[in-house]
Structure 1
Amino acid sequence: MALCSWQLLFFVLNLFSQKFFVSYSDKTFLKDVFLITISAFGGPQAHLVLFFEYLVNKRKYLNEEELTELIALCQMLPGPSSTQTLLAIAYKRGGFKLAMLTLLIWMFPAFTIMTVIALFITQLKNLPEMSKTLQIAQFVQPMAVGFVGYGAIKITQKLVNTKTGFALLIFSALATYFLRSPWAFPVVVVIGGMVTALKYEKQEKMEKKKFVISWRYFIVYGGVFIIVASLGLITKSMPNSEAISLPIRLFENFYRNGSLIFGGGQVLVPALYNEFVEFKKYLSSDEFLSGYALAQAVPGPVFAFSGYIGGLSMRNFGTWGILIGSFVASAGIYLPGAFILFFVLKFWEQLKLYRPVRASLEGINAVSAGMVIAAIFTISENITPNLTNIAIVVLTFSALMFTKLAPPIIILIGIACGIGFSLL
């Protein structure tokens, strides 16, 4: 399986290098993205740890200060924060083309697996049978806690070094853990930035340039939304047009959610449950929760769960319906965050010339670290507190902290142990 994945990756990269003139350095970057993708268990906080390990420490595509700055920027934007951080790195390296290729490779493994799960779910009468087949990944979730715990220490060391920063870190951790509202994340980020922006006089004055905003990507973002929403209304009123109307409406539904979600997958999931289970009833509660449980064992962005929901929403149209539904849902959930990010990156360098903006990064970084700490406890709530799981968390954290084992190797060891226990 791993060999086939690598062969497929190399084929895709070589194809793009021939058709779209991707340089050797860009192909190397995309291969590194793929390595991160297949290791990316545990949600956005664990993903950021991998970005530091691979992209900063190992490959030196950017330095720690640049990465923490991009993390802070993406925390303020709607959409999948770890995906946007990776896209921002790719965009700064190679522009729109490399960013889009990065997005495809980053989401491909999780998208494929969740689409296959959607296909299998339609064939199963007893949903728990699917969960039993994935017992090989029973250690992945406690391992994710170890990854996030390691990330919390490393990110705190890198981002927080003042008394104000530590105070904001504690405030952020408590606020985002107890106030589990979609708006808690951007509000906390804004508060953190405003607190340290007041210390702008300590920042060095820099010569300001004429402030120019390019509206191209924002126009594309808004234009796509208007066109798709209009097409959905038109086709919905046409007789016998459900096969055409439903994919368009699904794209609009996920595009809208991708435009409004702050805080990552932990906020996305309840929003999708309310819309597609409670309101539209495209999925049953059991199907939704079973799919989400299985998604925890899948590497890559949590937003890939959208592909599963989109696929089951179109199951009445057969296999092709599931494939189309999964594709339009995935495209809809990722594109708005990408367009908004590209729009902001165009004038971000100009914004940084202003001292209050540079000063605000201290607070934004501190509350970002606090969110990672809160995520440790949030993820732990879904794990049975037995000695086995606690031992897995401690061993994973220790392996990351005190050995040079690469994250993919640690994950493979966990999966191998899962296979052994499932056989026993």
Structure 2
Amino acid sequence: MLGLTSFGGPIAHLGYFHDEYVRRRQWMDERSYADLVALCQLLPGPASSQVGMGIGLVRGGLLGGVVAWIGFTLPSVIMLMLFAFLIQGLDVGNAGWIHGLKLVAVAIVAQAVWSMGQKLTPDRSRATIAIIAMATALLWQTALSQIVIILAAGIMGILLYQRTEQSMITDVIIPIRRSVAIICLMLFFGLLIILPILRPIVNADGLSLFDSFYRSGSLVFGGGHVVLPMLEREVVPTGWITKADFLAGYGAAQAVPGPLFTFASYLGAMKSGVSGALLATVAIFLPAFLLIAGTLPFWNTIRKNRKMQGAFIGINAAVVGILLAALYHPLWTTAILTPVDFAFTSLLFLLLVFWKLPPWVVVVAGAVGGTIIGMLS
């Protein structure tokens, strides 16, 4: 049911999970849920999806984690696949409503920068890390750049924040043996290393698709919005999808419930139909599943290490900078073409941040407004 009703993005998803599984069903206590959320915020991948997987893992082991992921993800996968089939063959680049969706994407990512920046860069040193990360991401646009930025930010975090005071530690009990967890972690790193090596040797479309989305899901900190620049570099320069179609799908992904990472379902469908959508969806979520299943049994030990805590503080600051870079390019440079575009996007930002309207309402408003702007221009 949550897969059909969980509008509002990752923070809202965490609220839905808390209401359903902590308050109503009492599957977890408050402290265990808070510990699970903290772990998922620190791991690469979609935090809200990982929390859902984690709840399933706690209740039913590996099978429970898979079932929880399917229930939360499948509705938005189906919706975005249908959207992809709807716009295929259409000249979406010149459609007014598509331009409106591009403006919505700018407003929503600006909202993410606004909210994450307040939380993750509250002081001078973290703001500096964010700006350096932003400049690096803009000036060095390669698949390797984001990895280097994350690693460098982690080192800076260790140097600056390893003395951060720890809050009270509460153990999380998970029905997964440590041997199984180690296998999951080995699979995570093994696929991350092997897939890029096999890709040029095998030269198969399916393997290339799986590698691109698996790598994107493996190396993204900060959740759905931050995956945008990495996915854009994987699918637009390769010719798999046009930039107009890419931004149209990203705007549409804001209007459906569930995790933003199902944007991969749309991209896969645009590339290779139903099979491409399913392959891309599994590939982008698989790293998150392997990491949460592989890390939970060791979490109580890991989070007591102050160096690791400091590293994650630095990484979270860099995430804000990477997202700010994505706000400028490809979003701003592609969508904001006239003063009218800027004015309308500012209005959409106002509705999201200060009027706090649901994202799907803002998406509809953006599509209608884009159509009107197109008719008047």
Could you tell me the TM-score, scaled by structure 2's length? 0.72
Larger of the two Rg values belongs to structure: 1
Q: Once the two structures are superposed, what CA deviation does each residue of 1:300-348 show, in whole Å capped at 9, x if it has no partner?
A: 544234323542xxxxxxxxxx444444454445435543453344434
Number of the residue aligned with 2:294: 343
Matches within 5 A, 1:271-290: 271-272=234-235, 277=239, 288-289=242-243
Larger deviation, residues 342-351 vs 162-171: 342-351
Number of the residue aligned with 2:83: 113
Number of the residue aligned with 1:317: none
Number of the residue aligned with 1:22: none
State the distance in 2 between where 1:204 and 1:72 align.
Answer: 15
Structure 1: segments with no counterpart, 5+ residues: 1-26, 37-49, 75-80, 122-126, 237-245, 278-282, 312-321
Equivalent of 1:403 in 352, 355, 370: 355
Question: 1:368: how far off?
Answer: 1.3
Q: Aligned to 2:335, what secondary structure does the other structure show?
A: coil
Contact 1:145 1:393 in 2 (8 A): yes
Number of the residue aligned with 1:382: 334
Contact 2:43 2:291 in 1 (8 A): no
Whether 1:31 and 2:31 are equivalent positions in the alignment is no
Question: 1:390: how far off?
Answer: 0.5
Whether 1:268 and 2:231 are equivalent positions in the alignment is yes
Equivalent of 1:352 in 303, 308, 320: 303
Number of the residue aligned with 2:61: none
State the distance in 2 between where 1:207 and 1:333 align.
Answer: 31
Larger deviation, residues 411-420 vs 138-147: 411-420
Equivalent of 1:55 in 14, 27, 31: 14
Percent of pairs with identical residues = 15
State the distance in 1 between where 2:193 and 2:158 align.
Answer: 36
The residue type paired with residue 3 of structure 2 is L
Number of the residue aligned with 1:201: 163
State the distance in 2 between where 1:116 and 1:86 align.
Answer: 28
Whether 1:415 and 2:370 are equivalent positions in the alignment is no
Number of the residue aligned with 1:280: none
The residue type paired with residue 175 of structure 1 is T
Number of the residue aligned with 2:212: 257
Contact 1:52 1:64 in 2 (8 A): no
Q: Aligned to 2:127, what secondary structure does the other structure show?
A: helix
Contact 1:396 1:410 in 2 (8 A): yes
The residue type paired with residue 110 of structure 1 is L
Describe the shift of the 1:251–1:222 C-alpha distance in structure 2 as closer, same or farther (beyond 3 A): farther
State the distance in 1 between where 2:34 and 2:351 align.
Answer: 22
Equivalent of 1:292 in 246, 258, 266: 246
Q: Once the two structures are superposed, what CA deviation does each residue of 1:264-298 show, in whole Å capped at 9, x if it has no partner?
A: 242234334565x5xxxxx6xxx645643543443
Describe the shift of the 1:332–1:207 C-alpha distance in structure 2 as closer, same or farther (beyond 3 A): closer
Question: 1:88: how far off?
Answer: 0.8
Contact 1:258 1:333 in 2 (8 A): yes
Describe the shift of the 1:351–1:295 C-alpha distance in structure 2 as closer, same or farther (beyond 3 A): same
Contact 1:30 1:102 in 2 (8 A): yes
Structure 2: segments with no counterpart, 5+ residues: 23-29, 58-64, 172-176, 221-226, 254-259
Q: Aligned to 1:416, what secondary structure does the other structure show?
A: helix
Contact 1:156 1:369 in 2 (8 A): yes
Equivalent of 1:169 in 106, 121, 130: 130
The residue type paired with residue 70 of structure 2 is M
Contact 2:265 2:278 in 1 (8 A): no
